[in-house]
Structure 1
Amino acid sequence: MMECDKEMENVHERKLSSNKKMEVNDFMDGADSSITKSDIFENHGGTKLKREMGLISGICLIVGTMIGSGIFISPKSLLESSGAVGPSLIIWTLSGILATLGALSYAELGTMITKSGAEYAYLMSAFGPIPAFLYSWTSVIVTKPSSAAIICLSFSQYATAPFYPNCKPPDIVIKTLASAAIVAITFLNCLSVKLAAYAQNFFTAAKLVIVVVIIVAGFVLMGQGKTQNLQNTFDGATTDFGSIGLAFYSGLWAYDGWNQLNFVTEELQNPFRNLPLSIIIGIPLVTVCYVLMNIAYFTVMTPSELLQSQAVAMTFGDRVLGVMAWMVPVFVAFSTIGSANGSCFTAGRLSYVAAREGHLIKVISFIHVKLLTPSPALIFNCILSIIYTIPADIETLINYFSFAVWIFYGMTMLALIVMRCTKKDLHRPVKVPIVIPGLVMIVSVYLVLAPIVVNPELPYLYCFLFIMAGLLFYIPFVHFKISFKFIDVLTKHIQLILEVSPTEEYVE
């Protein structure tokens, strides 16, 4: 029986190899002579992404992506929505707890289904291709590139602030610099996975420097008795159902990134160990930092002053650090660009995995034959991100981004609960109490419905209609597999220009 099984495996491998060679031969027909077939098959018989991320890189990806622009933008909008200092600090804490609970559920999913793509892979496994496609449609076209745009716009605001000390930098300057940052990050990620990981580690270390500086300065000021803004902290607190939901949107936007490691599971060394460890270490660390940073802000600013500040961390630095105030914009710029780097890294992997499953044009799933990076997926995300720098209102982007994201977070929690019943035989190295995904799912329903019930606006309807519009593409192009000849021509030219080829099939 064992010999029969082995022979069947050999036949299967020969079929995969034959199919791969046919695709490569098509590529080689018009390819540059500097690319050889040995380049394409030098990695164990084919091109594929390599496992080059260890535990430290995993923690840095989570921490580096979460601590980005949010903590330097969200304190203002969160305080405005919550109405007072006390509720804002509670929401910061609860948002961190919710992110931790969600990430623990993702740890079970990521060690049970070891494909990259996070929600995409889990929805595919639990509910089939339609929900997975709608997620990839929404994320690839809207949420991922808009997130990168928001982060890079924040980077531009802080990077240009020292050059416009008495006024707000012109929009054209901010948007041009943001677009340049997106292009630079994309180029780095296309060049090398290791280089992108090293850059992420560096930016994470840099952002922790400014976090520690702000927290330590806050403790020093509290020791000096500057605690008046931390008294009577519930005066003026809102009890409005929708406003509290919007406050959570702002807080959870700052924590967004808790699921980023699940997008690159196929590139993580020993994912059964490093995925849950990175989550357990990274997210509580970020939660503590966020709460202490907000307390530090209130040691030097009243709530009204914080609401009037164009850049909260900049105002804090000007009042506390004196001649060293230059540290704040420099290190905040490092922080935001590091978060953008992590977002670019994971967004490219989502597009790559969705294309590999046939839910995007196939060329997006190709990788560079020598550098082994998913450059077509990264470039595709880059173009969309630059488009999303055009809108000027960052807070509006955050609200609608959060609305769409939490629809799919809730569906993913439901997927975990469903697979507990439908896929009992799957190996689960990590298994969380079922109440955890249940609680996160209930909260996600609240976050989706609260703003709509209290303050219904047409953009929420437009967002929902956009998600469902994905069916207009799924039915003809995925289900019925309608294709156009110009796609093959386009694919061939992209292969020649970018020097990319099809990847090996991923097997769990």
Structure 2
Amino acid sequence: MKKNSLNENDKKSNDSNEDKCQLKKEITLINGIGIVIGSMIGSGIFISPTGVYLKAGSSGAALVIWMLCGVFSMIGAYCYIELGCIIKRSSGDYAYIYQAFGPFLAFVRLWIDVIVTRPCCIAIVSLTFAEYILEPMFLNCVQPIMARRCLAASCILLLTFINCWSVKASTRVQDIFTFAKLLALVIVILTGVVKLCMGFTSNWESPFSDTNTDIGQLTMGFYNGLFAYCGWNYLNCMMEEMKNPVKDLPKAVLISCSIVTVVYMLANVSYFTILSPIEIKLTNAVAVRIGLDNFSVMWWVIPMFVSMSTFGGVNGIIMTTSRMFLVAAQSDQMPASLAMISTSLSTPIPSVIFVSLVSMVYLVYPDMYVLMNYVGFVTWLTFAFAILALLYFRFSKKYQKLERPFTVHLIFPIVYLLVSAFIIVFAFVGGFYESMMGTIIMLTAVPVYLIGVKWKKPKSFNRKLGDFTKFVQKLFIVVATEPDESLKLS
């Protein structure tokens, strides 16, 4: 009888777990590769080559910077695999910094993403999407700014609906558009190969002539290149939705980063083969320039594929950022309404909508690239803190007994931290004003944390906040969710 009662209790427990509203594990290895490649290849490879070239001074130095950016990103991604396998929690480096250094530094990391980094990225990539969509209609004309903004907003709203509707649908969008963006780059690469075979080698006769020797300028060129590689850590933000995270995360990240690095190098070789130095300096849309000069009446194919690339990029950022905000809300560092999940769709609807609304606010800002420059070195500082957390987990007695299904050699996090320290310091040399503004933006997290998180609010305020949370629940039919006990941040 006792045995039967135990079995009945176990059955009830299993039933309650099955009925519990939580994120579904629907992401496979192929989906993971699509998320990483789709997040990395956005607008960067189509607009960053000009910035890198201007700072490097020569095609040879620019290629070296692109290669070093790829290697550096690969090392960071390699270290993040161990972090993801230790702390199997969505939200990526937010969770790692929280677990290692406490809620305050984790909130600083979160604040940078909330106030600038992620919404700015979404706005920039969606505006790039709109620019390339409108290019065939406004060839050799100035595009109406309102048309760009409205089309960018439409892109964000459509992807918001998809991400609210289904995780499977959003990952399918990512897979399809990842293929499209790779196809666009393959077209650019093959065009360069054809040109080389036809004898167009004049741009490679002195590849390192006029190379810039200013270390500050080269560092800023490195930042421009790293912008194109951003996204290598995004799959860590989806850990709780991966079917087999420990097995698939290493494969997905290493395969994706290798593919992107090779594709970026070959694409830049094509750019420098087909276009003259003057043409590269005078245009931000290098891929479109190649289409205009080489594809005759079919030149519009390149803008079409680039717009598809940026569409997938926006999807990847919305999908992963919403998970970060969800986990932060579960940790009481964001409003409780963002910790809600749809009872029927199992998607974090409030968090997805919040990400999209903040992003659309930035569409009206006159120069978001300036904001991105402000937080450029701060972003890499927070990445360095996440890698520092890896070393903390290795040597702290509290975490030495953690299961480590994947372990990296210590040389990799050490090299990453040394290079990060170098580029952070020299960011002040090459862009002192931008770096100081980034520091100020980061420091604004202190009063927000004290007022929003630590301050014990009046009962009247808590009642109004509770009423708003109930309104969100009724509006979207969502309920609060909590992770498994083993995944909770402490």
Same topology, TM > 0.5: yes
Q: C-alpha displacement at 1:388, in angstroms?
A: 1.4
Partner in structure 2 of residue 473 of structure 1: 448
1:151 to 113, 118, 125: 125
Q: Report the CA distance between 1:498 and its aligned residue.
A: 1.2
Tell me the distance in 1 between the aligned counterparts of 2:440 and 2:274: 44
Instruction: Report percent identity of matched pairs.
Output: 36
Answer yes or no: is 1:505 the counterpart of 2:489. no
Q: Which residue identity is paired with 1:430?
A: F
- Render the CA deviation track for 1:38-92: whole Å, top value 9, x for unaligned: xxx9871311001100000000000011111000010011111111111100011
Secondary structure at the counterpart of residue 389 of structure 1: helix
Cα distance change, pair 456–387 in 1 and its aligned pair in 2 (3 A):
same
Letter in 2 for 1:213: I
Q: Secondary structure at the match of 1:163?
A: coil
* 2:401 corresponding residue in structure 1: 425
Greater mean deviation of Cα atoms: 63-72 or 387-396? 387-396
Any idea what the Cα deviations from partners look like across 1:167-200, whole Å, max 9, x if unmatched?
2312222122112211111111011110001111
CA deviations on 1:360-408 (whole Å, 9 max, x unpaired) are 0111010111111101111111111011122333542442342221010
| Deviation (angstroms), 1:109 | 0.3
Match of 1:174 in 2: 148
The one-letter code matched in structure 2 to 1:418 is: Y
Partner of 2:320: 346
Look up the match of 1:248. 222
Q: Helix, strand or coil: the match of 2:18?
A: coil
Distance 1:102 1:129, change over 3 A: same
In 1: Cα distance, 2:277 partner to 2:16 partner: 60
Runs of 5+ consecutive residues of structure 1 not aligned to the other structure? 18-40
Q: In structure 2, what is the Cα distance between the partners aligned to 1:220 and 1:300?
A: 10
Q: Distance in 1 between matches of 2:313 and 2:454?
A: 36
Q: Quote the offset at 1:322 in angstroms.
A: 2.0
Q: Partners in 2 of 1:293 and 1:228 — Cα distance?
A: 18
Q: CA deviation at 1:157?
A: 1.3
Segments of 4+ moved more than 6 angstroms: none
The Cα of 1:147 is off from its aligned counterpart by 1.0
Q: Which residue of 1 aligns with 2:342?
A: 368
CA contact under 8 A between 1:364 and 1:377: conserved in structure 2?
yes
Which amino acid is the alignment partner of residue 304 of structure 1?
A: I
Contact 2:81 2:250 (8 Å CA) reproduced:
yes
The amino acid that maps onto 1:499 is I
From 391, 410, 428, the equivalent of 1:434 is 410
Q: Give the Cα–Cα distance (whole angstroms) in 1 for the partners of residues 97 and 454 of structure 2.
A: 17
Q: Could you tell me how far 1:480 is from its partner in structure 2?
A: 4.2
Partner of 1:92, secondary structure, is helix
State the partner residue of 1:140: 114
Structure 2 CA distance, aligned partners of 1:401 and 1:151? 17
| Alpha-carbon distance between aligned partners in 1 of 2:153 and 2:41, rounded to the nearest angstrom | 21
1:82 aligns with 2:82: no
Secondary structure at the aligned position of 1:388 is classed as: helix
Preserved contact between residue 147 and residue 401 of structure 1 (Cα < 8 Å)? no
Contact 1:108–1:432 (CA under 8 A) maintained in structure 2: yes
After TM superposition, give the deviation of residue 425 of structure 1 in Å.
1.2
- Match of residue 233, structure 1, among 180, 187, 207: 207
Amino acid at match of 2:65: I
RMSD: 2.0
Among residues 47, 61, 64, which one is paired with 2:35 in the alignment?
Answer: 61
Q: What's the secondary structure of 2:252's corresponding residue?
A: helix
Q: Is 1:289 paired with 2:263?
A: yes
The answer on whether the counterparts of 1:146 and 1:401 sit within 8 Å (CA) in structure 2 is no
1:313 is aligned to 2:268: no
CA contact (8 A) 2:340 2:348 kept: yes
Matched, 1:447 2:442: no
Alpha-carbon distance in structure 2 between the residues aligned to 1:374 and 1:361: 13
Tell which deviates more after alignment, 264-273 or 484-493: 484-493
Judging changes above 3 Å, is the alpha-carbon distance between structure 1 residues 321 and 77 closer, same or farther for their aligned structure 2 residues? same
**Matched ranges for 1:457-496 at <5 A:** 457=433, 459-482=434-457, 484=461, 485-496=463-474
Aligned to 2:363, the other structure's residue is in SS state coil
- Displacement, 1:469? 2.1
In the alignment, is the contact (CA less than 8 A) between 1:410 and 1:442 conserved in 2?
A: no
User: Does the alignment pair 1:216 with 2:157?
Assistant: no
Alignment of 1:194 onto 2:172: no
Q: In the aligned structure 2, how far is the partner of 1:314 from the partner of 1:81?
A: 22
> 1-side partners of 2:423 and 2:123: how far apart?
23
- Kindly indicate whether the alpha-carbon contact (under 8 Å) linking 1:77 and 1:395 is maintained by their aligned counterparts in 2: no
State the shift of 1:280 in Å: 1.2
- Distance in 1, matches of 2:367 and 2:290, equals 23
Contact kept, 8 Å, 2:160 with 2:352, in 1: the verdict is yes
Letter matched to residue 495 of structure 1: Q
Q: Which amino acid aligns with 1:150?
A: I
1:110-152 C-alpha deviation (Å, 9 max, x unpaired): 0011011100110111111111111112112221111111111
Deviates more, 1:422-431 or 1:345-354: 422-431
Any conservation in 2 of the 1:188–1:195 contact (CA below 8 Å)?
yes
**SS of corresponding position for 2:347:** coil
| AA in 1 matched with 2:402 | L
CA distance in 2, matches of 1:168, 1:492: 47
Deviation at 1:481, TM superposition (A): 4.2
Q: What is the TM-score of this pair, normalised by structure 2?
A: 0.93
Q: Would the aligned equivalents of 1:409 and 1:441 in 2 still touch at CA under 8 Å?
A: no
Residue equivalent to 1:20: none
- Inter-CA distance 481–356: structure 2 relative to 1 (3 Å threshold): farther
